């Protein structure tokens, strides 16, 4: 697990932060889940895979984080399982991967119920399945937080990963949709729906490629100026910023990173200015070279001033100038041999090249 993943995992392990995430993504910002409703559970997904002999092998996967959520309903307390995956880049197999995580958790929950039912002396179909008609498993939801720059570019649905020989097969094959949290797709108001530092951290993630926006957050947005130490560490690792973080302090002053952001903005502006200047200079040089070369060729009929212009302008201007010069010399009724000699001298042409201009 990389440094960014570790920082994000530590940050989200705070139940207040996790509850804020669940309320935003699952309940549309409504304050349904509280920190006290959460209980961190085992992140290992282990499923037995029968080998046909009687001794099963096991499939094990390690998730970033899993929490059990206790929800109070009119029918009593019910449970929801929430898994979180932190992604620093777009994973091309993410729909299949998350579907497998969810299926393994469902399998684990079923196995626990079946083990509890062994003392009930079930019969018939209940004995075959190990379940009673009233048995239920909790829903499992996996949230994927994309911390990288820009939008998620990988598949968002399992169907996008499958090569169907016939489109009709899509109606028979179950799909799986990623539950993505993409800061780049969130509008300004969305960041204010959060009750914790999570909103500010996601806002920083959205602005990570924009030095000007980062500076605005630090200077104008009160939510983003002071962050908890864990939140600041996520910003530091995701954005690659050198933020002075005091391990003995619970709160970090993000304004200390302003100088680095100013430097980023300067470098970004310098690069943009250089690119635009180069592009403009090339275009103007080509235009000026052509215009000057053409004017010089018309006026003097001899040498051109194309050396300072672009090659395109020089070539076009010189050709036009030679043609004009030939026309003027013919009007003076000079001998063809004299004209040929003047062209060879003025334009460094071979005898054949000079004759070609004379006879065109």
Residues in the chain where the model's pLDDT stays below 70: 1, 44-61, 257-286, 288-317
Contact present, 197 and 227 (Cβ < 8 Å): yes
| Rounded Cα–Cα distance for residues 105 and 262 (Å) | 47
Q: Which of 182, 176, 174 is nearest to 144 (CA)?
A: 182
> What pLDDT sits at residue 333?
76
**Whole-model pTM over 0.85:** no
Q: Which of 350, 347, 326 is nearest to 338 (CA)?
A: 326
| Rounded Cα–Cα distance for residues 11 and 106 (Å) | 27
pLDDT digits (tens, 9 = 90+) for 322-337: 888 778 777 777 888 8
- Provide the CB-side half-sphere exposure for 168 (13 A, CA): 0
> What pLDDT sits at residue 305?
41
Task: Enumerate residues 6+ apart whose C-beta is below 8 A from 304.
Answer: 293, 296, 297, 314, 317, 318, 321
Contact present, 41 and 18 (Cβ < 8 Å): no
> What pLDDT sits at residue 331?
76
> What pLDDT sits at residue 353?
83
> What pLDDT sits at residue 289?
62
Contact present, 142 and 166 (Cβ < 8 Å): no
Pairing mode, if any, of strands 44-49 and 57-62?
antiparallel
> What pLDDT sits at residue 31?
94
| Rounded Cα–Cα distance for residues 223 and 199 (Å) | 8
- Helix, strand, coil % in the chain, rounded to nearest 5: 55, 15, 30
> What pLDDT sits at residue 290?
62
Q: Per-domain residue ranges for the chain?
A: 3-249, 286-359
> What pLDDT sits at residue 304?
44
Task: Enumerate residues 6+ apart whose C-beta is below 8 A from 59.
Answer: 45, 46, 47, 48, 49, 104
pLDDT digits (tens, 9 = 90+) for 284-324: 666 766 666 566 656 655 554 434 445 655 566 677 778 88
């Amino acid at each position: 697990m990389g440094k960014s993943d570790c920082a994000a995992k530590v940050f989200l392990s705070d139940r207040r932060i996790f509850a804020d995430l669940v309320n935003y993504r699952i309940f549309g910002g409504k304050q349904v889940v509280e920190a006290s409703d959460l209980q961190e559970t085992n992140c290992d997904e282990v499923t037995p895979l029968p080998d046909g002999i009687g001794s099963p092998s096991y499939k094990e996967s390690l998730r970033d984080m899993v929490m059990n959520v206790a929800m109070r309903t009119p029918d009593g307390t019910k449970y929801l399982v929430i898994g979180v995956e932190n992604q620093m880049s777009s994973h091309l197999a993410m729909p299949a991967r998350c579907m497998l995580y969810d299926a393994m958790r469902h399998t684990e929950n079923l196995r626990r119920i079946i083990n509890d039912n062994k003392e009930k002396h079930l019969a018939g179909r209940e004995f075959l399945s190990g379940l009673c008609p009233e048995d239920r498993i909790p829903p499992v939801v996996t949230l994927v937080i994309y911390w990288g720059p820009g939008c998620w570019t990988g598949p968002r649905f399992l169907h996008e990963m499958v090569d169907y020989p016939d489109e009709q097969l899509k109606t028979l094959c179950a799909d799986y949709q990623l539950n993505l949290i993409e800061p780049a797709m969130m509008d300004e108001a969305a960041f204010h729906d959060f009750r914790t530092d999570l909103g500010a951290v996601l806002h920083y993630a959205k602005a990570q490629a924009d030095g000007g926006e980062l500076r605005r957050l630090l200077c104008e947005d009160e939510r983003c100026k002071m962050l908890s130490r864990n939140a600041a560490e996520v910003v530091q690792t995701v954005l690659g910023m050198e933020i002075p973080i005091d391990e003995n302090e619970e709160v970090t002053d993000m304004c200390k990173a302003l100088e680095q952001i100013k430097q980023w903005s300067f470098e970004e502006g310098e690069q943009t200015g250089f690119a635009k200047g180069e592009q403009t200079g090339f275009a103007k040089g080509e235009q000026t070279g052509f215009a000057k070369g053409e004017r010089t060729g018309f006026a003097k009929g001899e040498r051109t001033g194309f050396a300072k212009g672009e090659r395109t302008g020089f070539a076009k201007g010189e050709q036009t100038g030679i043609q004009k010069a030939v026309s003027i010399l013919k009007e003076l009724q000079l001998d063809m041999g004299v004209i040929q000699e003047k062209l060879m001298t003025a334009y460094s042409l071979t005898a054949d090249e000079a004759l070609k201009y004379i006879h065109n």
